[in-house]
Amino acid sequence: MLWLYRFLWIASSLGTATILIVASNPRSERPISAGEWRTVQQGRFTVQVPPTFRAHRDALTQMGMNKPNSPIQLQDAVRIERGARTGVKIALVTVRSDLMPVGDEPSAVNPQEQSGVRLLRQVHATQLQNLREALAEFKERQQRPVKVQGVHGLRTDFEYTLTHWIPFLNMPARGYLITVPVSQNEALHIIAYTPPHQFEMYQPLYERMLNTLKLNAGATTTAHGGWE
């Protein structure tokens, strides 16, 4: 009987080695969005997510993104993630004008638009500051205007390190923050993050997710598909 066991372990070991070689080929990697997307409703948000992503709306996410006495207060937040460095956080924030520092007066030329752009920049910068404090080795890369569902917003790309208690096992991550206005005193933060080598692969997936995002009671969409 022993020759049979010997044959089995030798053949299986060769099979294992072959499978590991096949699996390590980048061409054998399965598309992440394979399978049917499902609609998830969490608090103020309704969004379609790929099958491998889980949606959480917990107190920790909300506490981590809110700061006391800040003019920008978090209303609701949801995490849609696949792992520690793969996912999207969506947060709806309110701008409290009574706590807002007094800044420059809006210029005479189109004062409403000037005020909107300034507010957007301010909200975006506040969230970037929160990220800078929360994430290790946070580095901003570039800032540029973007459009999400027809609404103009701001996007900042960044890199950070996911820390481990054994420093040797720290992992780099890449992501971006998008801020879009929702109403006169509300804005939406979208924080997306992935492993650096998979950034290009996940970006279209996150864009598709954001294009299906809807805000529930409390905000309405415009005829162009954006938010009012």
Note the residues at the interface with another protein (CB under 8 A).
Answer: 2, 4-9, 12-13, 15-16, 19-20, 22-24, 28-30, 32, 35, 51-52, 82-86, 162, 164-165, 169, 171, 173, 195, 198
Q: Which is nearer to another protein, 30 or 144 (CB)?
A: 30
Angle at CA of residue 71, ends 98 and 182, nearest 5°: 100
* Three-class secondary structure assignment of 38-107: EEEEECCEEEEECCCCEEECCHHHHHHHCCCCCCEEEEEEEEEEEECCEEEEEEEEEECHHHCCCCCCCC
Tokens, residue 226: 């954006």
Tell me how far, at minimum, the Cβ of 221 lies from another protein, in Å. 33
Q: Do 138 and 127 touch, CB atoms closer than 8 A?
A: no
Q: Which is nearer to another protein, 53 or 227 (CB)?
A: 53
Q: Which is nearer to another protein, 87 or 181 (CB)?
A: 87
Tell me how far, at minimum, the Cβ of 169 lies from another protein, in Å. 5
Tell me how far, at minimum, the Cβ of 139 lies from another protein, in Å. 18
SS3 at position 35: coil
Q: Which is nearer to another protein, 108 or 169 (CB)?
A: 169
Q: Which is nearer to another protein, 23 or 108 (CB)?
A: 23
Angle at CA of residue 206, ends 193 and 44, nearest 5°: 95
Q: Which is nearer to another protein, 57 or 85 (CB)?
A: 85
Spatial CA neighbour of 190 closest among 204, 175, 205: 175
Tell me how far, at minimum, the Cβ of 31 lies from another protein, in Å. 9
Tell me how far, at minimum, the Cβ of 79 lies from another protein, in Å. 14
Residue 170 DSSP symbol: -
Tell me how far, at minimum, the Cβ of 46 lies from another protein, in Å. 24
**Site of tokens 């864009």:** 207
CA dihedral 60, 214, 36, 30 (to 10 degrees): -60
